[in-house]
Amino acid sequence: MAKDKDLLLDIRDLRIEGFADDRWFEIVHGIDLQLHRGEVMGLIGESGAGKSTIGLAAMGFTRDGCRFAGGEVEFDGMDLTSASEAEKRALRGSRIAYVAQSAAASFNPAHKLIDQHAEAPVLHGLMSRRESEADAIELYRRLRLPNPDEIGFRYPHQVSGGQLQRAMTAMAMSCRPDLIIFDEPTTALDVTTQIEVLAAIRDIVDQFNTAALYITHDLAVVAQMADRIKVLLRGDEVEEAPTREMLSDPKQDYTKSLWAVRSFKREQKPRPPEGTTPLLSVRNVSAAYGDTRVLDGVSFDIHRGRTVAVVGESGSGKSTTARCITGLLPPLEGEILWDGTPLPPRYQDRSKEQLRQVQMIYQMADTALNPKKTIGQIIGRPLRFYQGLRGAALKKQVDGLLDQIEMSPSKFYHRLPSELSGGQKQRVGIARALAAGPELIICDEVTSALDQLVAEGILRLLDTLQKELDLAFMFITHDLATVRAIADEVVVMKEGEVVESGPKDQMFRPPHHPYTDLLLSSVPEMDPDWLSNLLEERGRDNIGEAAGSAGA
């Protein structure tokens, strides 16, 4: 290895096994990875690709129930798979640091941030307690945390998620390590917060010339952060290339398919003529959970056969709006009109016919299907309930629906949900909604729990169904790429209010409402220069405030 003295991390033929059902299974099948000083490598893949396992292995660490089964992890000349605990301990925190996905869970609730920050430098004998505290405040300042002199003396639960994530990055930086492992550091954050954290991480990694492994499932994010990208699939490497090359010219079919997902887009339908009675009309609806008001004067229309996308960050009230429409949460004020006539506010007071017309599809297909019922029973129940179908007639209808969602009736009729993949479960959820014969389907983040390829399939299916059955969709999502793909009209929500609404083509063209602008511009794009350009545009020092004032 003497030939390449810049080589920091050299992983050769790494194999890791996991323990399940009283047996060891290989979950990482011989990965090679080289990382040089100051270089950032993006590890990308869908869930189960083994990204986090490899990230931890780079620190010589395996979680309980996992073990090294072969290969070497050589960090600066030392093999970590065979190193003693004491040797590994001396490296961890000081020369290799880790930033976890959930900062809220990874900070110890019993200690102040700065105490946790200073622990590693003092323990590794690099700084005195006082020096380390002063350094923490300096790092907080560089990471643009508000009140850098004071924020470290708070407990984790007193600090917001985006700030905690930056404090954790500062903590990782505390010993000026040679390598930092970032394990999905922005996955749990909203887009406007994500951008602050991304900017902060990139800044600090640049400033100290730290090498990093950046683990994520989000292509656009990794495009901003990494010099090179390695694509993983089920514990195997698919391909590796410098970022620009990987984005413009992927070699493998799997990578190409990942890239291609974002290309699906359907024609926007023309607006219905003025004066058409909307299928569903939300009029000035306000609602509250207990004493906290969560919706304030929300109004919008949904027309027959159209898709309305309701967009906003967590806590914006988009799901609450759906609960008001379905009658789960009776509004305080305002009303919901169906075809021009008001619906009773409580679902208990609605007629079978009114209930039938609006159906829901849920985000988590796992919790949306009763695990103790077969697919046939799940899809059959609405048919039985609303139309009183029995026996052969029922079976025939269910088979028809299964055909419609492109699942073979003979194969799936008697299966349980646990025997299905995520995408198949979501299809069954769609079939159950269709079985009621609705005119409007509310889709609540239906693709966000799915891997991109599968999500794409679901979107295409919904589009086909809309054409065949003239369905209206209310599409709740935080993902603007999905909005671009399928919406006819867009409603932007923030803190329980509608900020802006209109046809999609207008919404994606300036001028915007400032919040819409912030939201749109914060969604990472595949262009590796996107973040730099954006920071240039917004002004490097404003980014925190801009997002802070508009987000929190």
Partner 1 sequence: MSWFTLAFFAVLILGGVIAGMLQRRGPLLLMFVLLCVSGLAAMMMGPGVLKSISIGAGILAAAAGISYMVRESLALLLPEGGARLIKTAPLTAVFGMLVIAVYILTAVFAPAIAPYGEAEVVGASFQPADETMLLGGDQLGRDLFSRLIFGARNTVGIALVTTAIAFVIGTLTGLIAASMGGWVDQILGRIVDTLLAIPQLIFALLLLTITGPSVRNLTLVIALLYAPLIFRLARAVAGGIVVMDYIEAARLRGERTWYVIMKEVLPNVTAPLAAEFGLRFCFVFLAISALSFLGLGIQPPTADWGSMVRENATLISFGAITPLIPAAAIALLTVAVNFVVDWMLHISSGLKE
Partner 2 sequence: MNGVLPLIGKRLLLGLGTLLVVSIIIFGAVELLPGDVAQEILGQSATEETVAELRRQLGLDQPAYIRYFQWLGNALQGDFGTSLANKRSVAEQLGPRFLNTLFLAGMAALISVPLAIGLGVLAALMRNSIYDRVANALSLVSISSPEFFLGYILIVFMAVQNPWFPAIANVTPEMDLGTRIYRSTLPALTMALVVTAYMMRMTRAAIINLLASPYIEMARLKGVPNRRVILRHALPNALAPIINVVALNLAYLVTGVVLVEVVFVYQGVGQLLVDSVSKRDFPVVQASCLVFAATFILFNLIADVGAILSNPRLRHPK
Which residues lie closer than 8 Å to 171 by C-beta, 6 or more apart? 97, 113, 116, 117, 120
The verdict on 318 binding partner 1 (CB under 8 A) reads: no
Q: Which does 468 bind (CB under 5 to 8 A by kind): partner 1, partner 2, none?
A: none
The verdict on 125 binding partner 2 (CB under 8 A) reads: no
The verdict on 114 binding partner 2 (CB under 8 A) reads: no
User: What is the closest distance, in whole angstroms, from the C-beta atom of residue 363 to partner 1 in the complex?
Assistant: 8
Q: Which does 155 bind (CB under 5 to 8 A by kind): partner 1, partner 2, none?
A: partner 2
The verdict on 111 binding partner 2 (CB under 8 A) reads: yes
Q: Distances from the Cα of 144 to the Cαs of 85, 167, 200, 277, 477, in angstroms?
A: 36, 10, 7, 51, 30
- Give me the phi and psi of 403, to 5 degrees please: -60, -40
Applying CB under 8 A, the span of 96-104, 180-188, 356-364, 419-427 interacting with partner 1 comes to 356-364
Q: Can you tell me which of 47, 147, 158, 506 binds partner 2, judged by CB under 8 A?
A: 158
Q: Distances from the Cα of 64 to the Cαs of 53, 67, 183, 246, 541, in angstroms?
A: 11, 8, 18, 34, 42
Q: Can you tell me which of 2, 3, 109, 292 binds partner 2, judged by CB under 8 A?
A: 109
- Find out whether 368 and 429 touch, Cβ atoms under 8 Å: yes
If the CB atoms of residues 100 and 308 are measured against partner 2, the closer one turns out to be 100
CA distance 141 to 287: 40
If the CB atoms of residues 111 and 467 are measured against partner 2, the closer one turns out to be 111
CA distance 459 to 430: 11
Which 167-196 residues touch partner 2, going by CB under 8 A? 171
Applying CB under 8 A, the span of 28-36, 230-238, 305-313, 344-352 interacting with partner 1 comes to 344-352
The verdict on 23 binding partner 2 (CB under 8 A) reads: no
Q: Which does 347 bind (CB under 5 to 8 A by kind): partner 2, partner 1, none?
A: partner 1
Give the total of residues touching partner 2 (CB under 8 A): 31
Q: Which does 432 bind (CB under 5 to 8 A by kind): partner 2, partner 1, none?
A: partner 1
What would the DSSP string read from start to end of 218-265? -HHHHHHH-SEEEEEETTEEEEEEEHHHHHH---SHHHHHHHHGGG--
Which 436-455 residues touch partner 2, going by CB under 8 A? none
Which residues lie closer than 8 Å to 479 by C-beta, 6 or more apart? 447, 448
What would the DSSP string read from start to end of 435-501? HT--SEEEEESTTTTS-HHHHHHHHHHHHHHHHHHT-EEEEEES-HHHHHHH-SEEEEEETTEEEEE
Write the secondary structure of 61-89 as one string of H (helix), E (strand) and C (coil): CCCCCEEEEEEEEEECCEECCCCCHHHHH
The verdict on 508 binding partner 1 (CB under 8 A) reads: no
The verdict on 362 binding partner 1 (CB under 8 A) reads: yes
Q: Which does 264 bind (CB under 5 to 8 A by kind): partner 2, partner 1, none?
A: none
Q: Can you tell me which of 113, 170, 355, 402 binds partner 1, judged by CB under 8 A?
A: 355
CA distance 472 to 490: 14
Q: Which does 407 bind (CB under 5 to 8 A by kind): partner 1, partner 2, none?
A: none
If the CB atoms of residues 299 and 367 are measured against partner 1, the closer one turns out to be 367
If the CB atoms of residues 233 and 428 are measured against partner 1, the closer one turns out to be 428
Q: Which does 110 bind (CB under 5 to 8 A by kind): partner 2, partner 1, none?
A: partner 2
Q: Can you tell me which of 27, 28, 59, 114 binds partner 2, judged by CB under 8 A?
A: 59
Q: Helix or strand or coil: residue 416?
A: coil
The verdict on 328 binding partner 1 (CB under 8 A) reads: yes
The verdict on 373 binding partner 1 (CB under 8 A) reads: yes
If the CB atoms of residues 257 and 348 are measured against partner 1, the closer one turns out to be 348
The verdict on 102 binding partner 2 (CB under 8 A) reads: yes
- Find out whether 16 and 32 touch, Cβ atoms under 8 Å: no
* Closest alpha carbon to 502 in 488, 521, 520: 488
- Find out whether 18 and 9 touch, Cβ atoms under 8 Å: no
If the CB atoms of residues 98 and 140 are measured against partner 2, the closer one turns out to be 98
If the CB atoms of residues 3 and 372 are measured against partner 1, the closer one turns out to be 372
The verdict on 269 binding partner 1 (CB under 8 A) reads: no
CA distance 470 to 321: 23
User: What is the closest distance, in whole angstroms, from the C-beta atom of residue 122 to partner 2 in the complex?
Assistant: 11
If the CB atoms of residues 109 and 275 are measured against partner 2, the closer one turns out to be 109
The verdict on 438 binding partner 1 (CB under 8 A) reads: no
Q: Which does 382 bind (CB under 5 to 8 A by kind): partner 2, partner 1, none?
A: partner 1
φ/ψ region of 75 (left if φ > 0, alpha if ψ in -120 to 50, else beta) reads beta
The verdict on 91 binding partner 2 (CB under 8 A) reads: yes
- Find out whether 496 and 316 touch, Cβ atoms under 8 Å: yes
Question: Cα dihedral sign for 400, 406, 410, 416?
Answer: negative
- Give me the phi and psi of 147, to 5 degrees please: 45, 60
- Give me the phi and psi of 91, to 5 degrees please: -80, -40
- Residues near partner 1 (CB under 8 A) are 22, 326-328, 347, 350, 352, 355, 358-360, 362, 364, 367-373, 381-382, 385-386, 432, 436
- Residues near partner 2 (CB under 8 A) are 56, 59, 61, 63-64, 88-94, 97-98, 100, 102, 105-111, 119-120, 123-124, 155, 157-158, 171
